Structure 1
């Protein structure tokens, strides 16, 4: 039996289109993450508890939304964006921490996304993602991401206050994610409502 991916069966263009969408999702996630990181430096320059950990951390919004909306390509985009931020901005003198930080930043929200699909019954299309479910995901993400980061700190033997650092990072990630969510919701609310079609008025 010929493979469904064999040219001439119509599957080629579909695969190509999916690859283009995945690449665009990765690039868009990287750009979104880095834009939020620069916005963080501009809007909240004085909320840092320690390097890379703040009481409000806007890139957490990208960490939550990109995997949630785009799945694995979104998580890959977060990974690349976080690596760019860590290697070139936050920890240029510590490549090991930069490498681990990027993995923690992407893996934790992706695991929350998988948990939401398999345990909470969220559909991959997000058609049943209600505001209540989204607000439930924020604290789950707010705990998972700092937990993974601080597990690395502990295994690596970093001299940090793990309990206080975890609490600050959890609060900062949740607040940052909520700020981004409600800012996007407010911007969407400013868009003009499409005029009803003539058939809808009949």
Structure 2
């Protein structure tokens, strides 16, 4: 049972990430700066969300999904870039998660994740991912437009994460309001 649960979390994370990638390509295709760098990048929000919700299991799912997207879509002819791109894509949100757990005292249940803390984590993640990606590219010799790619990735990861997180927050608010109103309507008077 324990293994099935872990496998379901990892597979669910992979599926949700890949669906977000497809949605991003469909909705925001026009916002691509260069291959793999978008002005709005919804999968960034899924990376942070799944890592916050599921910890290491979410990071494993993000790693596998990132490798799938890097090896088969973004960089099919560059296995080194695909390998490191996938690792960094999973490592950045996981490092933010570890920071939140150890330095901010974030509980595994996220019960003490305030709106302010969430915004700090979103900003840290939007900085960490692009910084790690562009540092790796520069170390690998790809220094063309590093600064511009960093800025676009930062904006894309920030906007994508904000869209995902606040869409979910709005959805949860709507569901709880609907549930409360249905509960009030069903009470005998």
Cα-to-partner distance string for 1:8-52 (whole Å, 9 max, x where unaligned): xxxxxxxxx332221111001100100000000111011011100
Quick one: distance in 2 between partners of 1:189 and 1:40? 24
Aligned-residue Cα RMSD (Å) equals 1.8
Say which of 97, 102, 107 aligns to 1:123.
Answer: 107
Judging by fraction of residues, say which structure has more helix: 2
Q: Secondary structure at the match of 1:49?
A: strand
The number of aligned residues is 183
Partner SS state of residue 76, structure 2: coil
Given the alignment of the two structures, is residue 168 of structure 1 paired with residue 159 of structure 2, yes or no? no
Q: Identify the residue that residue 20 of structure 1 maps to in structure 2.
A: 4
Cα distance in 2 between the residues matched to 1:102 and 1:32? 16
1:154 and 2:138 aligned = yes
Choose the corresponding residue for 1:35, options 19, 24, 30.
19
Tell me which residue corresponds to 2:179. Answer: 193
User: Residue 125 of structure 1: SS of its match in structure 2?
Assistant: coil
Distance 1:73 1:141 in 2: 18
> How many Å separate the matches in 1 of 2:3 and 2:131?
33
Equivalent residue for 2:29, pick from 45, 60, 63: 45
TM-score w.r.t. structure 1 length? 0.86
- Higher radius of gyration, 1 or 2: 1
Q: For residues 21 and 133 of structure 1, what CA distance do their matches in structure 2 show?
A: 28
Which segments of 5 or more consecutive residues in structure 1 lack a partner in the other structure?
1-16
1:94 aligns with 2:78: yes
The answer for the alignment partner of 1:136 in structure 2 is 120
Cα distance in 1 for partners of 2:120, 2:160 equals: 15
Scaled by the length of structure 2, the TM-score of the pair is 0.91
How far does the alpha carbon of each residue in 1:39-70 deviate from its partner, in whole angstroms, 9 at most, with x for none? 00111011011100011111001111011000
1:122 match: secondary structure = coil
